[in-house]
């Protein structure tokens, strides 16, 4: 089972807002924000997506 998919972004704040707005009707929100990577989803037991700035 897929736990999460990662998308590389250049602006974390814009990306978090965009994806939470896009997926908000499905109950998605930022579940875990570690600065360089943030996980967005319904809950930690469901598949999530992650936005991450590259190295």
Contact call for residues 54 and 41 (beta carbons, < 8 A): no
Tens place of pLDDT per residue across the chain (55 aa): 788 999 999 999 999 999 999 999 999 999 999 999 999 999 999 999 999 998 7
- Asked whether the beta carbons of 6 and 15 are under 8 A apart, the reply is no
The structure's pTM equals 0.90
Domain 4-52 is found in CATH 3.30.720 = yes
Q: Where are the alpha helices (DSSP H) in 1-55?
A: 12-23
Whole-angstrom Cα distance, residue 18 to residue 20? 6
Under a CB-based contact definition with an 8 Å cutoff, are residues 4 and 46 in contact? no
Where do the structural domains in the chain lie, given as residue ranges? Answer: 4-52
Rounded Cα–Cα distance for residues 47 and 12 (Å): 20
């Amino acid at each position: 089972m897929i736990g999460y998919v990662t998308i590389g972004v250049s602006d974390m704040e814009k990306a978090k807002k965009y994806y939470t707005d896009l997926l908000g009707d499905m109950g998605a929100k930022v579940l875990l924000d570690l600065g360089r990577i943030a996980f967005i989803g319904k809950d930690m037991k469901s598949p999530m997506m992650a936005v991450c700035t590259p190295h």
